[in-house]
Amino acid sequence: MRLSLRWQLGLLIPCAALAAASLHAGSGQAGLRHHRLPEPWSQLTQAQQQALFKVRRDWELRSYPQRLALLKNRQLCLKDAGTLEAYRSCRRQSSQARKALRRQGRTLINGERKRLGLAPLPERRSWHHRPQKSRP
């Protein structure tokens, strides 16, 4: 399968972020500025791992039809988009719907984490909404 240059560049960002995070992970403070990170999977008990696995698996199975419908709706919307603004609107609506579905899953998983006595998962922050650093 051959990826377009746009997709290759799009995949470069997460790869670079992952590489930077792995290089920075040894410092002990990587990513702890804004919120507490959940404990590593290996530090959970077997019962906690099993409970979280079941909740996540069940959520993915239950939400599959919704995720499939979101993809189909986006495809139809994009096919019907005759202008750049209509195209952008499709992307915006699709993105908002995916985020809402992810929030539902996160709420469900955090409920189980709370029941198990674990910290909730931190909120995801998109890279383009982070505040700009001021330059001296």
Residue 1 falls inside a structural domain? no
Mean pLDDT within 28-50: 69
What's the pLDDT tens digit per position in 89-129?
999 999 999 999 999 999 999 999 999 999 998 877 665 55
* CA–CA distances in Å: residue 103 to residues 1, 87, 99: 32, 24, 6
Positive/negative CA dihedral, 101, 45, 31, 110: positive
Residue 101 falls inside a structural domain? yes
pTM metric for this prediction = 0.60
Residue 38 falls inside a structural domain? no
**Total structural domains in the chain?**
1
What's the pLDDT tens digit per position in 21-38?
444 444 444 444 445 556
Residue 106 falls inside a structural domain? yes
Q: Domain containing 71: what range?
A: 44-112
Residue 25 falls inside a structural domain? no
